[in-house]
Structure 1
Amino acid sequence: MEELSTTVTDLAASIDSLWVLIAACLVMFMQAGFALVEVGFTRAKNGANIIMKNLMDYAVGSLVFWLIGYSLMFGEDVSGFIGKFTLMFGDDSMDGLPPYTTLMFQTVFAATAATIVSGAMAERTKFQAYFIYSIVLTLIIYPISGHWTWGGGWLSELGFIDFAGSTVVHSVGGWAALVGAALLGPRIGKYVKGKPVAIPGHNLVLGSLGVFILWLGWFGFNPGSQLAATGKDNAIAVAHIFITTNLAAAAGALASMMVSWMRYKKPSLSVTLNGALAGLVGITAGCAAVSAGSAVIIGLICGVVLVFSLEFFERTLKVDDPVGAISVHGVCGALGTLLVGVFATEGGLLFGGGFAQLGIQAIGVFSTMAWVLATSFILFKGIQMTVGLRVPERIEEEGLDIYEHGETIYNNI
């Protein structure tokens, strides 16, 4: 009987590990989604550059996160701020999973944070500069703020809730994107006499396919963060997270479509696509903590806010973000994290918990924002003063592909 019990336990552990690794594969596939969204939303002359950035931030991110970043994020807590650095290469077990299962799952999350920045800085950034940035974010910026919440740091001790990374992953990428795009300045021709001019993406089919891939990948991102699938409670939790994730995305797409229809007299495909992503980003923090109905409301709120956020950054702040990454990931990531304090079924404002959890959520959101804005500014300013951030005007006008990589994504036959 004891042998049977051990066999069942081992089988459950194997199934849990396999589930998390499958989820990691889905999250890794999101890199393809990000690449297609960015390529589709920008001009053909920069397509190879964009794909190269999305490829290399995953490749280099995997290496430096394995080597150093993982221990800074999940190593033994030091004063609630950072994990103790050791050359453990992910050898420490966590959450009852095999060590390398956890390492793989967390690696794809780190890569997601890095690749978010690519879209906001597209079409005018030196590849060398982006390569340096990707290393530093995955090595230091993301792991340290991630430790605060997921590594046993001070925010986790405070009770901050960010189940799958609206703030830990998405806002980190979004706020870094804001700093990078602001320091770069707008693309040539984006503003005429202070007014924004549309620079349409060359292929919304690719952009749309990218969004569908990201939507699919999110079913690894959020449900995978349960880190187990065996047992009744885990099975119910995983299914619940699937539903809240899907409903929020659908509501975000619907809301952004309706708002764009009212404001621009026609339903905008590009805005609606970003609305689906806004709903996905917004629900990521509370996907396990809110009801299905609340997930719809969160998605609707994020979809509406997205449209006005896009306008604010483009028209008021004059920050040129070709794919809307700052609004989708930075703003909606922060907003979704705050809304956990409102809609959480345990401790949420609307469920009898008062303002306590909302206050904790605000501390987590704004402390992470401050960390990323400050460190990203130092990083990007340092790059700007040394190797330079932006390509010369001629290269920008003719396209980065030939000058930076010696090839293009479209070749006449």
Structure 2
Amino acid sequence: MSSSNTTIASLEAAIAQTHTDMDTLWVLVCTMMVFLMQTGFSFLEAGSVRSTSVVNILTKNLLGTCMVTIAWWILGYGLAFGDDTTSGTRNGFIGNADFVTAWSSYKSWHIWVFEWAFVADTTTILSGAISERTTTHGYLIYAAIFAGWIYPVVAHWFWSTSGWLSPLKKDIEGPGSLGVIDFAGCAVVHLLGGVASLCGAVIMGPRKGRWVKKNENYFKPHNIPFQFLGTLLLFLGWFGFNPGSTTAISNGMSIVAAKATVNTVLAAASAGLTGAFIRLCIPKFLVWDAGNLQNCVLAGLVAVTAGCATVEPWGAVCIGIIAAPIYIGLSFLLRKLKIDDPLDAVPVHGGCGLWGLIAAGIFSSPRGVSAAYNVVSTGSLFWGNGEQFGMQFLGAVVVIAWGAAWCIPLFIIMRFIPRGFGFRISEKQEKAGIDVALHDVDGTNIGSLTLSPFSISNAKIDKSTT
């Protein structure tokens, strides 16, 4: 009997280890796909700006990723996912363990790198909104503060096992007590990134000459193929972003991941088609608008992120259909208000992130929520659970308030501090072109020093502001 018990115990241990290995491999593969989105962001941004800003966009995004990595290692991960227990009491607000290399267990390494890819992508959202007018060091300061403080606190609220808004709280009891449904990050990633982008775009001000009517063609995207490549890479990366948020593939989670994948595709497709036909029917345009199509697809991807695992496929289609006009309307509003956002990061991430968070409180089904979070659930507003809708609204309010409370003073200080330490390049640098001014290279002829009349040596631009 003892021998049989030992054999059974050994088999159970082997099965458990196999499940752990499968889950770890799943998370690592999804991490690679999520990080691939950095390539997508870079190509999309590089294609959407003028040819004189390509090198700056690529350099800024890569440097920003490096800065985010160190900030996440030193401080961010511990604040976001470290234990928040003090004197036996959980604070629910912020973690206070697992800083630098002091991880409580090697088993958390794959989670560390997976969440790192998320914070890297979230930080990059601002890059497009303030492109062509930002100093490199200013962006790096923002990246460090965002990845080391602003983002981790929100991540702890929504995604830790003790955050005050988290559906993963270990003390959940019964239906109706679930936290905010934000399975893959409408609030933590997109809405927070959109708030930062709006604050940055408004405080930084428009690019010089942006709203002069005769300059309209001058500010159009310079490389449509780059835009499409970036969009498709982002679409591909979302297959790691949404399904990978299960952080496991064993014990039935493979079904949840598969459902999240299906809903991701449906929302993107429905938003893309809806947006394309809306633009085609507007008398002023009457064309299949390439840029609008790309951003509507991204709008659908953003909007389904919160409820990708909890809504039914028909709900994902509804979310995508509504996301397209939300994006188009907000994009038009930004232009009317003369807020210069070259990538439409605010409408795509901010507007559709907000819609997606609220939509999860409308369309999430009881069985979807129960499977995704392993709790008993009565669903959302469509199933009569108004409390869940209220929780989603509360989550939106606190993210907007938190993001604005930190980003507004940060950008104001960096925008108006003395020259040499600020966030915006000088008028001379902007006139010369940011690639030439900050990198002394022509983005259309990478690798050769620029010999144009606007080169640094000829224009005598002060390099101290770079």
Whether TM-score is above 0.5 comes out as yes
Distance apart, 1:303 and its partner CA: 1.2
Aligned 1:28-43 pairs, distance under 5 A: 28-43=35-50
Aligned counterpart, 1:18: 25
Aligned counterpart, 1:87: 99
Note if 1:281 corresponds to 2:302: yes
- 8 Å Cα contact 1:189-1:197 kept in structure 2: no
Note if 1:260 corresponds to 2:270: no
Question: Could you say if the C-alpha distance between residues 168 and 181 of structure 1 is closer, same or farther in structure 2, counting changes exceeding 3 Å?
Answer: same
Aligned 1:341-360 pairs, distance under 5 A: 341-346=361-366, 347-353=379-385, 355-360=386-391
Q: What is the CA–CA distance in structure 1 between the aligned matches of 2:78 and 2:143, rounded to whole Å? A: 18
Distance apart, 1:297 and its partner CA: 0.7
Scaled by the length of structure 2, the TM-score of the pair is: 0.84
Aligned counterpart, 1:191: 211
Q: Amino acid of the residue matched to residue 158 of structure 2? A: T
Distance apart, 1:92 and its partner CA: 3.2
Distance apart, 1:88 and its partner CA: 5.0
Q: What is the CA–CA distance in structure 1 between the aligned matches of 2:58 and 2:141, rounded to whole Å? A: 16
Q: Amino acid of the residue matched to residue 148 of structure 2? A: L
Note if 1:290 corresponds to 2:297: no
**C-alpha deviations, 1:3-40, integer Å up to 9, x for none?**
12211211111011000000000001100000000000
Aligned 1:164-243 pairs, distance under 5 A: 164-192=184-212, 197=216, 199-231=219-251, 233-243=252-262
Q: Amino acid of the residue matched to residue 107 of structure 1? A: W
- 8 Å Cα contact 1:66-1:90 kept in structure 2: no
- 8 Å Cα contact 1:40-1:205 kept in structure 2: yes
Aligned counterpart, 1:388: 422
Count of residue correspondences: 406
Identity %: 38
Q: What is the CA–CA distance in structure 1 between the aligned matches of 2:118 and 2:215, rounded to whole Å? A: 34
Distance apart, 1:2 and its partner CA: 2.2
- Give secondary structure in 1 for the equivalent of 2:133: coil
Aligned counterpart, 2:373: none
- 8 Å Cα contact 1:70-1:90 kept in structure 2: no
Aligned counterpart, 1:72: 79
Distance apart, 1:241 and its partner CA: 0.7
**C-alpha deviations, 1:321-357, integer Å up to 9, x for none?**
001101100110011000011101022111232x211
Out of 440, 443, 448, the residue aligned to residue 409 of structure 1 is: 443
- CA RMSD between the two structures: 1.7
Q: Amino acid of the residue matched to residue 30 of structure 1? A: M
Aligned counterpart, 2:343: 323
Q: What is the CA–CA distance in structure 2 between the aligned matches of 1:87 and 1:241, rounded to whole Å? A: 32
Q: What is the CA–CA distance in structure 1 between the aligned matches of 2:210 and 2:326, rounded to whole Å? A: 23
Distance apart, 1:405 and its partner CA: 1.4
Question: Unpaired runs of 5+ in structure 1?
Answer: none
**C-alpha deviations, 1:277-308, integer Å up to 9, x for none?**
10001000000110011101101111121101
Aligned counterpart, 1:141: 150
Aligned 1:41-60 pairs, distance under 5 A: 41-60=48-67
Aligned counterpart, 1:308: 329
Distance apart, 1:312 and its partner CA: 0.7
Question: Could you say if the C-alpha distance between residues 42 and 90 of structure 1 is closer, same or farther in structure 2, counting changes exceeding 3 Å?
Answer: farther
Note if 1:270 corresponds to 2:303: no
Q: What is the CA–CA distance in structure 1 between the aligned matches of 2:416 and 2:431, rounded to whole Å? A: 23
Q: What is the CA–CA distance in structure 2 between the aligned matches of 1:337 and 1:382, rounded to whole Å? A: 31
Q: Amino acid of the residue matched to residue 300 of structure 2? A: G
Scaled by the length of structure 1, the TM-score of the pair is: 0.95
Question: Unpaired runs of 5+ in structure 2?
Answer: 1-7, 85-89, 170-177, 367-378, 449-466
Distance apart, 1:249 and its partner CA: 0.8
Question: Could you say if the C-alpha distance between residues 196 and 229 of structure 1 is closer, same or farther in structure 2, counting changes exceeding 3 Å?
Answer: farther
Distance apart, 1:86 and its partner CA: 5.0
Q: What is the CA–CA distance in structure 2 between the aligned matches of 1:143 and 1:126, rounded to whole Å? A: 25
Aligned counterpart, 1:367: 398
Out of 407, 410, 422, the residue aligned to residue 376 of structure 1 is: 407
- 8 Å Cα contact 1:71-1:89 kept in structure 2: no
Q: What is the CA–CA distance in structure 1 between the aligned matches of 2:152 and 2:440, rounded to whole Å? A: 34
Q: What is the CA–CA distance in structure 2 between the aligned matches of 1:286 and 1:205, rounded to whole Å? A: 31
**C-alpha deviations, 1:363-388, integer Å up to 9, x for none?**
00111011101100111112123322
Q: Which one has the largest radius of gyration?
A: 2
